[in-house]
Structure formats: structure tokens, C-alpha cells
Amino acid sequence: MPRIQVNKGFEKKAKKLFAKHPDKRKRVTAALQQLAEDPRYPSLATKKYDEANDVWQSYIEQGTPGAWRVWWRWSKTEENTIVVLSFGPHP
């Protein structure tokens, strides 16, 4: 099972986004837990987002305009570790 790690600045951004959208906290937490259990879980709909930088995208929610996503990559230094880069509404 992969380990979840967050990049610098993640906590600050999370605090800001959750202040604006407190209803999303539960969904983000659930998606990150599912990501740690199985990054290929069907409801996450994980796919490569940026081939050049090896960034992946997984769904936090689906079927709504501006549905939220989480962007992440596999750690280059720690085995079996997912580094969460950002999350928020689909651009």
C-alpha cells in the first residue's frame, strides 16, 4: 500500500481551500485514503496528467462542473510513496 506524502505548501493551500469550501474536506480525505489503498481504484479514474513531469490526476468527485481533482506523482527518492502536489477544482 502506498504511503501519502504532501509537498511543501500543501497544508497552507489546503487550509485556504477548506476555509472557502468546508464541504469538500470529507471528500478530499476519502479520496486521499483511497489513493493510499489503491491508486487505480475505479472511482478515482486515475490517469497521467503531465507526461513530461510524471504527474498523475485522480478524481475527488465526478459528474459536477468544476469537479475537484488531486494531482500527484510517485516519489523519486522514497519507494512506494505518493507525493500529493495539489488539489482543487478542475482547471
pLDDT at position 8? 80
Name the residue type at position 20.
K
* Model pLDDT for residues 2-47, shown as the tens digit of each residue: 999 998 888 888 999 999 999 999 999 999 999 999 999 999 999 9
DSSP string, 13-73: HHHHHHHH-GGGHHHHHHHHHHHHH-TT-GGG--EEEETTTTEEEEESS-SSTT-EEEEEE
Residue pLDDT, tens place only, 45-65 = 999 999 999 999 999 998 888
Spatial contact of 55 and 49, defined as CB atoms under 8 Å apart: yes
Q: pLDDT band for 80, please (50, 70, 90 cuts).
A: very high
Q: Which CATH class is domain 3-89?
A: alpha beta
For residue 71, give the C-alpha cell.
494531482
pTM: 0.89
Helices (H), 21-83: 25-37
Q: What ranges do the domains of the chain cover?
A: 3-89
Going by C-alpha positions, the residue among 76, 80, 78, 70 that lies closest to residue 32 is 70
